[in-house]
Structure 1
Amino acid sequence: MGQPAARRGTRERHEALLKLLREGTTQVEELAAALAVSPSTVRRDLGRLTEDRKVARTYGGAVVPEAFHERPVGESALMRRQAKEAIADAALGLVPDTGAIFVDAGTTCAALARRLAAADAGRSMVVTRGLETALALSESPDIDVVMLGGSVRRLSHGLVGPLADLALERLSFATAFLGADAVDPRRGVGEPTLEETAVKERVAARAERVVVLADALKLSVPQAPSWARLPAGWTLVTDGDAPADLTDACAAAGVALIRA
């Protein structure tokens, strides 16, 4: 094989590798099997793509960092489904035995809502601002589902605005489970609009404990338009593909870290 053909083969393999990473295959051994190449070849490719800033290395693999943009909820539901299900499983163990809880909008929070609806233990009240979350919770006859008022954001299907603020003034939560478009242990959670960050900050202020559910891609977003500060001692639940330096970053910020 001549050099041009070899370079073309490498480019094609890199494109296939990036496609697999975006679809949620992130571990070296799995990538190697999917591409029918050796793990050493995958590690070499990941090293080159890391140098080109096309991927970010994680424990045993890599993810594709993305510029910040808000995805429609239907599109988001197709991405990294296994990671989101694992995060929801881990979050279910953090649900308190008593007291009202808040479960945010977003696909990972909706996965937690499905588990709550299927659980045997009844729960008096779960509050949400997400349409998909409310529908999932409504499957349980034992859960009193309460929706915040407000305007529906077209992409996230989350409620925001003055009516949501009025409702939150009259509520409090044992635990609030928040979703996010971006997460930074120091800054909190990043969102596309100030309305989104405002409602998350108000929810967090009304909760005894705050838990953020975010897959590894949310930890590699370079910037978000607005950020919601969270109370000290909040908890981050993410998946095993989170960046290797996340443990130290969370410890420095006083954030409890759970890897699903």
Structure 2
Amino acid sequence: MSELRRGTRSRHERLLALLRAGTTHVDALAAALDVSPSTVRRDLGRLTRQGAVTRTYGGAVTAAAFHERELSERVRLEPAAKAAIGAAAAGLLPESGTVFLDSGSTCARLAEHLPGRAGLTVVTRSPEIALFLAGAAGLEVVLVGGSVTAKSHGLVGPLVALALDRLVVDVAFLGGDAVHPVLGVGEPTLPEAAVKEKVAERARRVVVLADATKLAPHAVPCWAPLPAGWVLVTDETDAEVLDPYRAAGVAVVGVAPGRP
């Protein structure tokens, strides 16, 4: 049995090497590996679930390498999708109660819809969002303390966890560098992932805001698991991408950029 497992691992490594070299079709991969196409499809299915590859029509490609971007760069990416996602997420805000807004460019678009929404307490780990909402009438804004991350500007560390342990939020709106139907939200560091996991634990409902680029496999090192029944708001429309989320019990809210 151990020999079989070693053989499978070896084949997976060779399969990934072929994909990186540009061989992407199932039949060509099967010929190169001297196995049946059904074996290749089975291997690709396993590697897809692990987040190592993305399935394509007739084959697969390797997951995109992960590169954490500066917040100033992120705000310029996918602006129409993020605007539509933010508007759709605003429809999930409770009439009153406590909500959590994550740091990041997509949650910032949601924050634009909060002024004028009296009766909400907004907890955030984003200095930018806290400052934007600080003067909004009828909102109580709570900025959890902690260490400021250099690229995302999100607050992390034990002080954040200490504050969150004393709160229960009705709805938590999370962003992420990557999203997976089983693994949850992907982050570049353990402190970032730990904050999101803690927020999810303290929330009655978790809503993840992610444009389609975040749903493609990335080599993100750290993951925050999410509770059952979380909600995904996205502009992704490909059923092959979204079906694994629905199968995992995730409620998908689709948006159309330009028509939020």
- 1:174 aligned residue: 170
Change in 2 beyond 3 A, CA 1:244/1:125: same
Q: How does 1:151-170 map to 2 (within 5 A)?
A: 151-170=147-166
Q: 2:174, 2:208 within 8 Å by CA — same for their partners in 1? A: yes
Q: Hey, what's the Cα distance between the residues in 1 that align with 2:239 and 2:120? A: 39
Q: 1:215, 1:242 within 8 Å by CA — same for their partners in 2? A: no
Deviations 1:136-191 (A, max 9, x none): 22241221110111000010000000110110111110000001000011110000
Match of 1:188 among 167, 184, 188: 184
Q: 1:68, 1:221 within 8 Å by CA — same for their partners in 2? A: no
- 1:259 aligned residue: 254
- 2:121 aligned residue: 125
1:150 equivalent to 2:146? Answer yes
Letter in 1 for 2:251: A
- 2:86 aligned residue: 88
Q: Which runs of 5+ in 1 are unaligned?
A: 1-54, 59-64
Q: Hey, what's the Cα distance between the residues in 2 that align with 1:243 and 1:256? A: 15
Match of 2:230 among 227, 234, 239: 234
Letter in 1 for 2:201: A
SS in 2 for 1:140: coil
Change in 2 beyond 3 A, CA 1:151/1:233: same
Q: Hey, what's the Cα distance between the residues in 2 that align with 1:173 and 1:197? A: 18
Q: How does 1:9-20 map to 2 (within 5 A)?
A: none
Q: Hey, what's the Cα distance between the residues in 2 that align with 1:98 and 1:123? A: 5
- 1:111 aligned residue: 109
Q: How many aligned residue pairs are there?
A: 197
Q: Hey, what's the Cα distance between the residues in 1 that align with 2:100 and 2:129? A: 10
Aligned sequence identity (%)? 53
Q: Hey, what's the Cα distance between the residues in 2 that align with 1:203 and 1:131? A: 17
Letter in 2 for 1:251: R
Q: Hey, what's the Cα distance between the residues in 1 that align with 2:112 and 2:135? A: 8
Q: Hey, what's the Cα distance between the residues in 2 that align with 1:242 and 1:219? A: 11
Shift of 1:57: 7.5
Q: 1:190, 1:226 within 8 Å by CA — same for their partners in 2? A: yes
Q: 1:106, 1:133 within 8 Å by CA — same for their partners in 2? A: no
SS in 1 for 2:198: helix
- 2:96 aligned residue: 98
Deviations 1:73-96 (A, max 9, x none): 000000100000000010000001
RMSD: 1.8
Q: Which runs of 5+ in 2 are unaligned?
A: 1-53, 58-62, 256-260
SS in 2 for 1:145: strand
Q: TM-score, normalised by structure 1?
A: 0.72
Deviations 1:32-65 (A, max 9, x none): xxxxxxxxxxxxxxxxxxxxxxx9979xxxxxx7
Q: How does 1:48-59 map to 2 (within 5 A)?
A: none
Match of 1:245 among 240, 253, 257: 240
SS in 2 for 1:75: helix
Q: 2:99, 2:120 within 8 Å by CA — same for their partners in 1? A: no
Q: TM-score, normalised by structure 2?
A: 0.72
Q: 2:64, 2:219 within 8 Å by CA — same for their partners in 1? A: no
